[in-house]
Amino acid sequence: MFQNHVFEIKKWQEKRIKNKNANIIIGNTKNNGLFIKVKNTFIALDCWIPKAELIFISHAHMDHIPRVPLEILEKIRMNKIDVKFICTKISKDIAELRTNNQLIIPEHAWLMGKTPQLPQSMEYKGMKFTIFDNGHAPGSIGLMIEAEEKILYTGDFITEKRCSSEKVVCIRCFNPIPCDYLITECTYGDPSISFPSVAELRKFLNKIVQENLDLGKLIIIPCTIFGKAQVIHEMLQCEEEIILDRDIAAIARILEKNGRALPNWAPYKHYGKRKLKEERNHVLIIPPHAINKSPYNELATPESLIIVPSGRVLFESYRKENPADIYLPLSDHADFKGIITSILESNPKELYLEHGEIEKISHALTNMNLDRLESINFLKTPYWT
């Protein structure tokens, strides 16, 4: 499969991969997650590793929130061990909410990301750390470390700027940055995966929603509590209040406290099952798992319209598991073209791929003229988003 390539492809066999530069190690531990070691500084990426000096949190999806033991958090709080965190305030606040305040990041241990302006940089032990937008979810960021060479961790990312229509409030996407070592995802790294533009999807969504509201239908949109729910919320242009499930409403409040205004909305409790059965012309955003549970299963009748937004709606198996009236191929990840373009424009000499279609991306790269790329490394992480 990989014959006649001009660079080496290393499948994951050990816990870490050591580069030609002895000062840089990139890899992952068996039971924890991804790390970078630069000049004896150990940086954990979206995970907890006992010997980490810095913990970088790219965003607040549950599988990216570090599971730091409570006894370690207490030692950090008491300044008994020196561990620092890098994340945005939105990620910090939502991580604390979603862990029921188990992951509390003390102010003195919060090294970077306290202000909303991006990108932002700081010096740390002779290295330059820069955080930047990657567009994956509210508050999500990537990380650049500049020492003797440049190491770039994209985190999960999108490559298209998303703008809510009339307000022109934009979610900035990942813009490739030249680097020596690139660590990136390839969730949708299959060449057959191509997503429509957000502008197209927004126009289609609002057309369908308004047509069915005019018919007196209740619109039910099951989507992930954090990330997709907010994207859908910002895309909608209906005059009626958008009704949010309790958990989604809690995140909306945090975003608004952080200066990110959301269109007119109300929590589900302000309406309730009885009112929505009588006044069905509303839009209701709920978690996917809730569609089959009370009270939402009683509202999902033939008089309702169920819209499922996800990049995975392109897969028949996903559609069978998630029946709906309308499928919206809206993803929080880059498609194949976006991943390839980002890799080419970043132009690394070492590429590290994690979760997703790793081999398909690698195979595609073997057919391209990449003079600088020396090796592709396969990283296995404990999660797949």
Cα 15 to Cα 31: distance, rounded to the nearest angstrom = 10
Q: Which residue has the higher pLDDT, 287 or 261?
A: 287
- What is the pTM for the complete model shown? 0.92
User: For the range 292-298, what are the long-range contacts, defined as Cβ-Cβ under 8 Å and sequence gap of 24 or more?
Assistant: 296/220, 298/273
Point out which residues pair with 103 in neighbouring strands.
none
Interatomic CA distance for residues 349 and 178, integer angstroms: 10
Answer yes or no: are the C-beta atoms of 181 and 26 closer than 8 Å.
yes
Give the single-character DSSP code of 382.
S
pLDDT band at 19 (very low <50, low <70, confident <90, very high): low
Q: What angle do CA 315, 320, 325 make, to 5 degrees?
A: 95
**Is pLDDT at 39 greater than 90 in this prediction?**
no
3-state secondary structure 207-232: HHHHHHHHCCCEEEEECCCCCHHHHH
Whole-number pLDDT of residue 20 = 56
The answer to whether residues 244 and 223 touch, using CB atoms and an 8 Å cutoff, is no
**Dist. CA 93–CA 148, nearest whole Å:** 34
Pick from 68, 45, 48: which is nearest to 143 by CA? 45
**What pLDDT score was predicted for residue 382?**
43
- With 0-12 / 13-18 / 19 or more C-beta atoms within 10 angstroms meaning exposed / middle / buried, residue 168 is exposed
Tell me which DSSP letter residue 197 carries.
Answer: P
Residues 6+ apart with CB under 8 A from 96: 103, 104, 105
Q: How far apart are the first and last CA of the chain?
A: 27
Predicted local distance difference test score (pLDDT) of residue 370? 81
Q: Given this model, what pLDDT does residue 381 score?
A: 54
Q: Which of 124-138, 160-174, 272-286 has the lowest mean pLDDT?
A: 160-174
- What kind and span of H or E run contains 309? strand 304-309
119 Cβ contact list (under 8 Å, min separation 6): 130, 131, 132, 133
Strands 181-186 and 350-356: parallel
Over pLDDT 90: what percentage of the chain?
Answer: 80
User: What is the token pair recorded at 121?
Assistant: 């940089």
What was the pLDDT predicted at 21? 62
* Residues 143, 120: Cα–Cα separation, whole Å: 10
List helix spans (H) across the chain.
70-77, 89-98, 198-214, 228-235, 246-257, 272-278, 296-299, 316-321, 336-346, 358-366
pLDDT (0 to 100) of residue 5: 33
Task: Give the span between the Cα atoms of 282 and 339, in whole angstroms.
Answer: 37
**How long, in residues, is the chain?**
385
Q: How far apart, in whole angstroms, are the C-alpha atoms of residue 58 and residue 139?
A: 8
Query: What pLDDT is stored for residue 92 in this prediction?
Result: 98
Whole-number Å distance between alpha carbons of 72 and 128? 27
pLDDT of res. 261: 85
Mean pLDDT of the residues in the chain:
90
Runs of H (alpha helix) within 291-380 = 296-299, 316-321, 336-346, 358-366
CB atoms within 10 A of CB 6: 11
Q: How confident is the model at residue 345 (pLDDT cuts 50, 70, 90)?
A: very high
Cα–Cα distance list, 325 to 208, 219, 309, 357 (Å): 11, 10, 11, 29
CATH of domain 198-328: 3.40.50.10890
Q: Mean pLDDT lowest for which of 2-11, 61-70, 134-143, 292-301?
A: 2-11
Answer yes or no: is pLDDT of 15 > 70: no
| Nearest-10 crossing angle of helices 228-235, 246-257 | 80
Instruction: Name the residue type at position 372.
Output: R
Whether 8-194+333-379 shares its CATH topology with 198-328 is answered: no
Q: Binning pLDDT at 50, 70 and 90, where does residue 16 land?
A: very low
CATH 3.60.15.10 fits 8-194+333-379, yes or no: yes
Q: What pLDDT does residue 6 have? A: 35
pLDDT in tens, 312-337: 999 999 999 999 999 999 999 999 99
Four-point Cα dihedral 315, 317, 318, 321, nearest 10: 160
What does the domain layout of the chain look like in residue ranges? 8-194+333-379, 198-328
pLDDT tops 80 at residue 10: no
